[in-house]
């Protein structure tokens, strides 16, 4: 409990609190993580998210992507950890969330300043002309979808392996990290570049919530809470 009290003190006294989240924050909402025992990459080959592979095999990639991401995405709900961050923003304490997630759960919980470092599942983008459409235009029974204007393949508007990070998201993330006096890292292994480098830009104190140690835990974390995000968030919310 001492750790929770210390974390609450830091959070309450911070002027520029920022959160950095990964797949683990959505685990208790039923969204699978990528790595770990029952992670997606133990069942699927990550090559389906490689941009060159997608270009050559759009049908196969899309079918796997549909099964992995889109089948459950409509029905998942935020958990106490997402609501905790949304509440901190409403109170004026949290300045923004940099998320690697594409599941829209921060926004569903009411968070406003959410930087989607890896894009999102809400839209699709044309590989030819770059036009964007809401994902509703996709007929999941007849994949891949094509651009109604130029006829090229449509791709989910999230970042594939081998693709650059959206410029705007990259710039805003760096700005948030550099100005953060406290950083809350929740549910990421901290292994995937360049997202994994962001927390190192923070000059302030770092709190981490993750049942397992990450690449950050023994290096830059000041308060490590080895707990599931939803469980820890409820305890913190009650103490604040």
Comparing CB distances to ligand APR, the nearer of 121 and 214 is 214
Give 98 or 147: the residue with its C-beta nearer to ligand APR.
98
Distance, in Å, from the CA atom of 120 to the CA atom of 107, rounded to the nearest integer, reads 11
Between 82 and 228, whose beta carbon lies closer to ligand APR?
Answer: 228
Q: Per rule CB under 6 A, is residue 104 in the interface with ligand APR?
A: no
The correct pick among 10, 18, 22, 221 for binding ligand APR (CB under 6 A) is: 22
User: Contact at 8 Å (CB) between 25 and 97?
Assistant: no
SS3 127: coil
The sign one gets for the Cα dihedral 96, 166, 82, 177 is negative
* Site membership for ligand APR, residue 78 (CB under 6 A): no
Coil, helix or strand at residue 182 = strand
Handedness of CA 185, 99, 25, 216 (dihedral sign): negative
SS3 content of the chain, % helix, strand, coil (to 5): 40, 20, 40
Nearest in space to 187 (alpha carbons), one of 239, 240, 218, 233: 233
d(CA 31, CA 28) in angstroms, rounded, equals: 7
Among 14, 29, 33, 120, binds ligand APR (CB under 6 A): 33
Q: How far is the CB of 26 from ligand APR (least distance, A)?
A: 8
Q: Which residue among the candidates 95, 106, 118, 155 is catalytic per the annotation?
A: 118
| Binder among 11, 18, 20, 34 for ligand APR (CB under 6 A) | 34
Residues with Cβ within 8 Å of 123's Cβ and at least 6 positions away in sequence, in order, are 132, 133, 134, 135, 156, 157
| 119: contact with ligand APR by CB under 6 A | no
- Catalytic, 118? Answer yes
How many residues bind ligand APR (CB under 6 A)? The answer is 26
120 binds ligand APR (CB under 6 A): no
Contact letters (x/-) for ligand APR, 181-200, by CB under 6 A?
-----xxxx-xx--------
Instruction: Tell which residue, 159, 214, 220, 209, has the closest CA to residue 185.
Output: 209
Q: Which of 36, 110, 128, 204 binds ligand APR (CB under 6 A)?
A: 36
121 binds ligand APR (CB under 6 A): no
156 lies in the binding site for ligand APR (CB under 6 A)? no
Applying CB under 6 A, the residues found at the interface with ligand APR are: 22-25, 27-28, 33-36, 39, 100, 118, 186-189, 191-192, 209-212, 214, 228-229
């Amino acid at each position: 409990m001492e750790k929770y009290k210390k974390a609450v003190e830091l959070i309450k006294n911070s002027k520029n609190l920022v959160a950095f989240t990964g797949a683990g924050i959505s685990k208790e909402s039923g969204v699978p993580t990528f790595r770990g025992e029952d992670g997606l990459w133990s069942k699927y080959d990550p090559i389906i998210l490689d941009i060159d592979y997608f270009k050559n095999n759009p049908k196969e990639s899309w079918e796997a992507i549909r099964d992995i991401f889109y089948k459950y995405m409509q029905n998942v709900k935020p958990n106490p950890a997402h609501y905790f961050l949304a509440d901190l923003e409403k109170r004026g304490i949290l300045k923004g969330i940099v998320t690697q997630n594409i599941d829209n759960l921060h926004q569903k919980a009411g968070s406003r300043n959410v930087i989607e470092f890896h894009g999102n599942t809400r839209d699709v983008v044309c590989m030819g002309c770059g036009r964007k459409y809401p994902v509703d235009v996709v007929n999941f029974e007849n994949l891949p979808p094509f651009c109604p204007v130029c006829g090229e393949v449509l791709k989910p508007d999230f970042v594939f392996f081998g693709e650059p990070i959206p410029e705007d998201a990259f710039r805003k993330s760096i700005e948030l990290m550099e100005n953060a006096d406290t950083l809350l890292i929740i549910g990421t292994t901290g292994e995937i570049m360049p997202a994994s480098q962001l927390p190192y830009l923070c000059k302030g104190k770092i709190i981490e919530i993750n049942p397992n140690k990450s690449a950050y835990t023994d290096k830059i974390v000041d308060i490590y809470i080895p707990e599931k995000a939803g469980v820890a968030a409820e305890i913190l919310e009650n103490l604040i």
